[in-house]
Amino acid sequence: MTLHAILRLVHITGFAAWFGTIFASMFLIKTLEPGMTDTEDKAKEYKVLLMRFIGLETKVADVAVVSVVLSGLLLTHFYHGWSIWAIMKIVLLVVQVALTMGYIVRKIQPITYPCDTTRFASWYRLFAISLTMFSLVLAVTFFLL
């Protein structure tokens, strides 16, 4: 197997793992919503589960993001070249991470449980941001590059 094929495999697998963590989180949040917006006891129980999941999910997402970035930079440098489209993809990835992290810090971390459903809906806006940015990156990658 050539280095190019290995880098592509790492890049695509990392992107899929990153994307998968978003979907896994979305499904877990949807499942936990009734308990997180209910009584104090139930919310406390569910919060422990949520925090444990977020810790594990963050480890997977971090490895995935790093593998996407490193393999993408190596692919660009050695095989595809530094074009405006490659730079655009890099900018989109940076924007995606910045928007996601900024939203988590400003809107998700301050949530205390139990909370009302309108406050809990901040989670769904986070997923909307992530999925929109993934769509933009994929559109640029497959239709413009």
Encode pLDDT of 2-49 as tens digits: 999 999 999 999 999 999 999 999 999 999 999 999 889 899 999 999
Domain assignment of residue 106, given as a range: 3-144
Tokens of 38: 């209910």
Tokens of 35: 């308990």
Tokens of 31: 């499942």
Quick one: pLDDT band at residue 145, thresholds 50, 70, 90? low
Q: How many domains does the chain have?
A: 1
- Count CB-CB contacts under 10 A for residue 27: 10
Nearest CA to 38 out of 120, 119, 135, 114 is that of 114
Encode pLDDT of 1-10 as tens digits: 799 999 999 9
Predicted pLDDT at 98:
95
Predicted pLDDT at 140:
82
